[in-house]
Amino acid sequence: MHNALLEAEQFGMDTVQVFTKNQQQWRTKPLEPGAVRDWTTELKRLGWTDRVVSHAGYLSNLASPDDELWNKSVELMTIEIERCEALGIPLLVHHPGAFTTSSAQEGIDRIARAYETLLKRTSGFRTILCLEGTVGAGSQLGGTFEQLHAIRSAAAGRTGSPERIGFCLDTCHMHAAGYDLSSRESADQVIARFDSVCGLENLKVMHLNDSKGKAGSHLDRHDHLGRGTIGGKPTPAALAASGFQTFVNHPKLARVPMILETPKGEDDQGRAWDAVNLALLRALRTGSSRVSAVKEARSRTRPRNEQSSKLRPNTSKSRSRNPLKKADPRKP
């Protein structure tokens, strides 16, 4: 697993997002002591102990009205948190869940109950659970800032530990949910709205993805930066006029890890798509009108875990050679 860190270093990243287990299986093998040692050694050497991210698997549904599925989900999330703590990963992103045959309020209550159990079991841990905003399709929870706030408030009320509950925003998800990010002006309004409802101080992770679907389409399909309905064109000028400018260069988000979850593979020139997207983000960060070449490096391994980048002033961004995240099987 530490190979994810080595590859990240090769490409000038300053963080990674990983799965600590197979994201599509309920059963999981215990972490091997050697793997934990190698990971933590490299993590400390790189100085990334405060900003690496894990994404929980896709089988858990903490909002489920089905007791058997809910209990299995709580057990699996307990393992996710324990693995993060063992690996020194401070941020665990997860989807809130879907209320399916119940109601939104009942789903929120189920999540709050799950958090009560989870944080009691992991009392004293530093891992922060980050509720990820969704596209709001079907019975998915988290498609509006008001729902995210309601979930966190309910969970904080039951646990008494608001410091261990944060948010993750995904630009594709927000756009598809109805928060138009296609212009700086509209994105400025969106981020101001989030701040007033949820508080920017509670935003712990960002996912930077363009969207194949239009604003309000509720379509969860990530696209390359500038090639979707947010960026418009894959040029620094187009991205600077879009919502990406608002999030990437917002002063209150300078220390927030920003993760690329765009499709993997290579473009028609044989360049890794991550490298292409990364070059655009570098130009956006620096205010350059030109896209500079991105250093390529071949990894010695192809870890199954997803790797991504944090954007910070005057630092390199990341790339990943890992498979695109699969669709969430909980979606109705």
Confidence at residue 301, expressed as pLDDT on a 0 to 100 scale: 36
Residue 325 lies in a domain: no
Confidence at residue 220, expressed as pLDDT on a 0 to 100 scale: 98
Residue 291 lies in a domain: no
Number of structural domains (the chain) is 1
Mean pLDDT of 176-190: 98
Secondary structure (DSSP) of 41-64:
HHHHHHT-TTT-EEE--SS--TT-
Residue 66 lies in a domain: yes
Q: Is the separation of the CB atoms in 239 and 225 below 8 Å?
A: yes
Gap between the Cα atoms of 217 and 38, Å rounded: 43
Mean pLDDT of 53-63: 96
| Three-state DSSP state, 313 | coil
Confidence at residue 310, expressed as pLDDT on a 0 to 100 scale: 42
Residue 332 lies in a domain: no
Q: Which domain holds residue 34?
A: 3-286
The 10 Å CB-count burial string (b at 16+, else e) for 240-269 is: bbbbbbbbbbbeebeebbbbbbbbbeeeee
Residue 201 lies in a domain: yes
Closest CA to 8 of 330, 305, 262: 305
Q: Read off the pLDDT of residues 316-330 as tens digits, 9 standing for 90 and up.
A: 333 333 322 333 333
The more confidently predicted of residues 116 and 310 is: 116
Residue 305 lies in a domain: no
Per the prediction, the chain carries an average pLDDT of 88
The runs of H, that is alpha helices, within 170-265 are 171-177, 184-197, 236-240, 243-248
Q: Is the separation of the CB atoms in 128 and 92 below 8 Å?
A: yes
Q: Read off the pLDDT of residues 118-134 as tens digits, 9 standing for 90 and up.
A: 999 999 999 999 999 99
Residue 324 lies in a domain: no
Please state the pTM of the whole predicted model. 0.88
Residue 115 sits in a domain whose CATH number is 3.20.20.150
